[in-house]
Structure 1
């Protein structure tokens, strides 16, 4: 299903699917969370135990994080220090 049709006057434009739009919006939320915490992608990945490559893929909207990661991101947003401590203690 197409969420945003391509501009017929732009030969380089492409349709955006509903799934693609959802991935892009999730990537934006992750980037905004990371920026709110004042962290680079690498710092965020290390602090919260999420592979850097995954963070990059999520932020550009190439992949949607699995449900467990989406739930974890909500925990990070609500309690960033507690989440980082839990990961550090588990290592």
Structure 2
């Protein structure tokens, strides 16, 4: 299903699917969380045990994190210090 149709006057523009919008919004959410915690992508990945390549792909909206990672991100949002301690232990 198309959420945002391509601009017919722009030959390089493409339709954006509902899934594409959802991936973009998730990427924004992750980036905002990371900025709130004042962490680079590298530091966020290291602190929470999520591969750096995955963080990059999620933030640009190329891939949607799987359900377990989305749940983990909610834990990080709620208790960032506890999550980091659990990974470090």
Which TM-score applies when normalising by structure 1? 0.96
After superposition, the CA RMSD in angstroms is: 0.4
Count of equivalent residues: 89
Q: Give 1:47's aligned residue.
A: 47
Gaps of 5+ in 2: none
Q: Give 2:17's aligned residue.
A: 17
3-state secondary structure, aligned to 2:13: coil
Gaps of 5+ in 1: none
Which TM-score applies when normalising by structure 2? 0.98
Q: Give 1:69's aligned residue.
A: 69
3-state secondary structure, aligned to 2:3: strand
Moved segments of 4+, more than 2 Å: none
CA deviation map 1:37-86 (0-9, x unaligned): 00000000000000000000000000000000000000000000000000
